[in-house]
Homo-oligomer: A and B are copies of this chain.
Amino acid sequence: MDHGTQAVWASDARDALRRAGFRSGGSRSLVIDALASHSCCRSAQDVHDELRTSDRAIGMASVYRALEQLQGLGLLDRVEVGDGTARFEPRLAHDDHHHHLVCTTCGEVTPFADRRLEEAIHDLAERLDHQVVSHDILLRGTCSRCRQEKK
């Protein structure tokens, strides 16, 4: 998940919005940039904070509205780790798809990828009556740093 990939996502996102009939608003564009500048999920508050210190601050409502629209177009994945706040990240191509490890001690969220897990889910989805379109996997436990500190 390099910078190039994220930059492509940002430009794809803008194209998709245009095609969907959205006008090019400055706030929404800043939200896209903020999301594209990170490799893992960010909360609405994270995005807002990041932009608050930039040239142009935007309203919290605009952040939420942009996130909602991007999600509606399938450009964002919503990630919930159980702390009561939703996080969002660019939905990238299959190869860059990842899931999350959450440290139950410090709360840190770390991405991981595993091909075998993806295959198991893919095969399982074929056998279900549901028409599965996406999946989330969350592993909970103690991260290596917190494990060290406990010792």
User: Which residues on A are within 8 Å of B, measured CB to CB?
Assistant: 78, 80, 82, 86, 101, 103-104, 110, 112, 114, 116-117, 119-121, 123-125, 128-144, 147
Contact = CB atoms under 8 A, between A and B. Distances in A.
A136 B133 contact: no
A134 B140 contact: yes
28 contacts: A78-B82, A80-B82, A101-B128, A101-B130, A112-B128, A114-B120, A116-B120, A117-B117, A117-B121, A119-B120, A120-B120, A121-B137, A125-B141, A128-B139, A129-B143, A130-B139, A130-B141, A130-B143, A131-B147, A132-B141, A133-B140, A133-B142, A134-B141, A135-B139, A136-B136, A136-B138, A136-B140, A137-B137
Q: How many copies does the complex hold?
A: 2
A5 to B, nearest CB: 23
Contact of A123 (B101, B104, B112, B116): B116
Contacts of A104: 133
Given A78-B82, A80-B82, A117-B117, A132 B124 contact: no
Contact of A133 (B121, B123, B141): B141
Contact of A110 (B123, B130, B135): B130
B130 A103 contact: yes
B137 A101 contact: no
